[in-house]
Amino acid sequence: MVEQPPGGAASADAADDAVEMLDRPLPEGVRRRVVALVSDAFGGLTVTELPAQLRQYARFTPTRRAKFAGNAMAAALAGDATFRRRIGERLRETQPELSAALEAGSPPAAADPVDVAAAAYVLRPDGWVKLLAAAGEEAQRADAERADAESRRELERLREELAQARAQTKSETERLRGDLDAARKEAESLQRKLRSAANEVKRAEAALRRGRAESDTVRAEAAAQVSAAESETRRLRARLGEAEASVEAGRRAAREGRSVEDMRLRLLLDTVLEAAGGLRRELALPPSSMRPADTVDAVEPGRMSPKDVAARALSDTDPALLDQLLALPQAHLIVDGYNVTKTGYPQLPLEKQRLRLLGGLSVLAAQTGAEMTCVFDGAELAAPVLLAPPRGVRVLFSRAGVTADELIRQLARAEPSGRPVVVVSTDREVADGVAKAGARPVASVLLLKRLSRV
């Protein structure tokens, strides 16, 4: 397709448009047909031949292009003479007969007025505004005829529905009259049955009164018999009570005769015990904690302390050192939580850091049996942390105004002297403070290496 140079056909089209212009908007049917023509011819143009605002729709199908780019294509066709000329050339190739007839000034009489108007709007032959106006009037006349035909069909349909409704109403009225007659007959039958039932009720009430009188007589006789039976029962119960009292007196006499010697022996034993208790109070004797074996002169084995383990350790970063410390009797491991997690896995969120550390400490507690306490800094928490401590691990958060380091030092000072207490922290102030309290500080990397084997 060869483009016209500036001042050529494009200038001529612009001049024609300036002479002939629409004085009203395109009819909606003509506009839709114009958009469809542009959408179909759109695919035969290269991207460079398209206006800038339409290039994004080059890969769309004609249907999607007409749906999403209809307004943009209509605006480009109205304002861009070059684009309109290219669309006109594509229209001449696809509809040569209609295009030739329009340019000759004699549109086919059998053609659809909307198709004629849309093609005239694109090709802009001489007198295209009149053709468009005539096509619009023809389309409006056709729409009016279709609307009139539809109105007549709707009127006929409503008349048929009215006739059917009248017939149905008549049939329904006759059915309701028949139902009313049947209901009246049913009501008369029910009234007869009701009168018969009322007579039956009266006879039943008379029979009920007779039955009540007979029942009262029988009840009075039964009450007299019950009274006589109760009197006999009371007499028999009295005799039974006398017999049971006689039997119990015999049993008590037999027990008293048999337990005289037991009573004397128990009295003597109570006397001896009370005398021993009085002698202990008189002498103020303390409870005996010694055993005979404790008086034998011998050398007892010494107990291992965290300091002894430190002397035997291979390295301060050797996990075997932590195993030796936790193997001491009643060992207590206190962990500076965030100090360990931020040393081992600082990239995780604080919640996941806590869960990962507590999971490893739970397994370590199950393996070693040592008491374990994990301390986290809670001074800046806006609300309490919702956390279920794992089995075997005590979890503590410091209160407002108290740091985790101070809480760890308080825990170390609270332990009795001589108990093996191990504190995991790389904070030098924490290590020095717990060392003064008798605890054994170890580096956080030592615990991380040990947990990596869990």
pLDDT tens per residue across span 245-267? 878 777 776 666 656 566 666 66
Task: Kindly indicate the confidence band of residue 86, based on its pLDDT and cuts at 50, 70 and 90.
Answer: confident
- How far apart (Å, rounded) are the C-alpha atoms in residues 235 and 29? 117
Which is it for the CA torsion 298, 301, 303, 307, positive or negative? positive
Most confident of 11-15, 163-167, 334-338: 334-338
pLDDT digits over 59-85, tens only?
888 788 777 877 887 777 777 778 788
Q: Which two tokens stand for residue 80?
A: 């861009």
Task: Determine what percent of the chain is predicted with pLDDT higher than 90.
Answer: 21
Give 3-state DSSP helix, strand, coil % of the chain, rounded to 5. Answer: 70, 5, 25
- How far apart (Å, rounded) are the C-alpha atoms in residues 103 and 90? 15
Distances (CA, A) of 153 to 77, 101, 140, 150, 167: 40, 37, 19, 5, 21
Range 35-55 average pLDDT? 77
Eight-class DSSP state of 304: P
Task: Kindly indicate the confidence band of residue 137, based on its pLDDT and cuts at 50, 70 and 90.
Answer: confident
Which secondary structure element, helix H or strand E, spans residue 371, and what is its range?
strand 371-376
Please state the three-class secondary structure of 409-452 as a single string: HHHHHHCCCCCCEEEECCCHHHHHHHHHCCCEEECHHHHHHHHC
Best CA proximity match to 73, nearest among 86, 133, 127, 124? 86
> Residue 7 above 50 pLDDT?
no
> Residue 9 above 50 pLDDT?
no
pTM of the predicted structure, to 2 decimals = 0.36
- How far apart (Å, rounded) are the C-alpha atoms in residues 372 and 337? 12
**Which of the residue ranges 196-200, 290-294, 319-323 would you say has the lowest mean pLDDT?**
290-294
| Residue 442 and residue 315 in contact, taking contact as beta carbons nearer than 8 Å | no
Block residue for tokens 């729709």: 57
pLDDT digits over 146-161, tens only?
788 888 888 888 988 8
Amino acid identity at 381: L
Range 42-49 average pLDDT? 75
Eight-class DSSP state of 380: T
Q: How many residues does the chain have?
A: 454
Q: Which two tokens stand for residue 238?
A: 């009295």
φ, ψ dihedrals at 31, nearest 5°: -60, -45
Q: Residue-wise over 302-334: b if at least 16 C-beta within 10 A, else e?
A: eeeebeebeeebeeeeebebbebbbebeebbbb
pLDDT at residue number 354: 92
> Residue 336 above 90 pLDDT?
yes
Task: Determine what percent of the chain is predicted with pLDDT higher than 70.
Answer: 79
Name the strands in the sheet holding 421-424, side by side, starting at the edge strand that comes first in the sequence: 393-397, 371-376, 332-336, 421-424, 440-442
pLDDT digits over 213-243, tens only?
888 888 888 888 888 888 888 888 888 888 8
| Residue 314 and residue 321 in contact, taking contact as beta carbons nearer than 8 Å | yes
Start-end of H helices in 313-427: 319-326, 337-344, 350-368, 404-414
pLDDT at residue number 383: 67
Give bridge partners of residue 421 from the DSSP assignment: 332
φ, ψ dihedrals at 97, nearest 5°: -65, -50
pLDDT digits over 192-220, tens only?
999 988 898 998 898 898 888 888 888 88
Which secondary structure element, helix H or strand E, spans residue 333, and what is its range?
strand 332-336
pLDDT at residue number 248: 79
Helix (H, G, I), strand (E, B) or coil at 395: strand
Which is it for the CA torsion 301, 302, 304, 307, positive or negative? negative
Q: Residue-wise over 135-153: b if at least 16 C-beta within 10 A, else e?
A: bbeebeeeeeeeeeeeeee
Most confident of 115-124, 306-315, 319-328: 319-328
> Residue 446 above 90 pLDDT?
yes
pLDDT at residue number 262: 67
pLDDT digits over 265-277, tens only?
666 677 777 777 7
Best CA proximity match to 369, nearest among 395, 330, 335, 425? 330
Task: Kindly indicate the confidence band of residue 294, based on its pLDDT and cuts at 50, 70 and 90.
Answer: very low
- How far apart (Å, rounded) are the C-alpha atoms in residues 280 and 275? 9
